[in-house]
Amino acid sequence: MTDEFSESQAAVLIGATEKMIEIWNRLSPEKQAALLARFGTEENALAALVTTQLVAPDKP
C-alpha cells in the first residue's frame, strides 16, 4: 500500500472536497449546527460529507 495519491486520485479528492465546501457554505446555520453537534468540528463534518460523496457519488 502506498501513502501517495496519483494525479487522478488527487483530482477526484480535490473536486469532491471543493463540492462539499460549496455545499457546506449553502447549508442553513441550523443544518451546520446539527452537523457540528454530530461531528464536533467543521473539519470532521466536511470529512464526513466528502467521504459520503466518495462512497456514494451523485446518481444520475
Q: pLDDT of 3-56, one tens digit each?
A: 788 999 889 888 888 888 888 898 899 999 999 999 999 889 988 877 777 677
Q: Where are the beta strands (DSSP E) in the chain?
A: none
Residue 57 DSSP class: P
Burial class (CB in 10 A: 0-12, 13-18, 19+), 4: exposed
* pTM of the predicted model as reported, rounded to 2 decimal places: 0.62
* C-alpha cell read off for 1: 500500500
Closest CA to 51 of 7, 2, 11, 12: 12
Secondary structure class of 23 (helix, strand, coil): helix
